[in-house]
Amino acid sequence: MERFAQRFPHQLSGGMRKRVGLAQVLIADPKVLLMDEPFSALDVQTRQLMENELLRLWQEDRKTVLFVTHDLEEAIALSDRVVVMAAGPRSKPIGEFPIPLPRPRDVAEVRLTPEFLRLHREIWELLRGEVMRAHAGA
C-alpha cells in the first residue's frame, strides 16, 4: 500500500480500499474483529488475496474473528468453526460445525481437499433446508 500513500480513497481499487479498512481496524488493536461480509463486493481473485491476508494476520496474533458471510466456501476456508443461522428477522443458531482443516492454509488450495468437500456437503445439507424454507416463505 506504500506506493498509494498519496492517493485519495476514491482513487483506490475496491481491494485496496478493503486493505486500508482492515489496516484502520487493526491499528486500534481490538481483541475481537467483527467482520460482516467484508469481501463480498470484490472480484474472485482479489477476494482470495484478502482472505489469505486475513488468515496470515490471524496466524500472527490469533485474534478472535467473528466473520459473517453468506458464502459457505468462504466460511469453511477461513474458519475454525461455522455456525449456521436460521433465516429471518428472528435468526438463531441452528447448527454448529467444527472445521478441523490444518493451518496455515491457503483458501484456494484448501477448497480442493477431500475434508473440505466433506464439510461442505455436511453443512450444505442443513443450510439447503433453511434456504428452501426461507424461499418458500418469501
The torsion region of residue 83 among left (phi > 0), alpha (psi -120 to 50) and beta comes to: beta
* Domain span holding position 83: 2-137
pLDDT tens for each residue of 106-129: 999 999 999 999 999 999 999 998
Give the containing element (helix H, strand E) for 96: strand 93-98
Amino acid at 7: R
How many separate domains does the chain show?
Answer: 1
Closest C-alpha among 27, 77, 79, 89 to residue 48: 77
pLDDT tens for each residue of 28-82: 889 998 999 988 888 899 899 989 999 998 999 899 999 999 999 999 999 999 9
CB 134 within 8 A of CB 87: yes
108: domain CATH number? 3.40.50.300
What percentage of the chain's residues is helix, strand, coil (to nearest 5)? 55, 15, 30
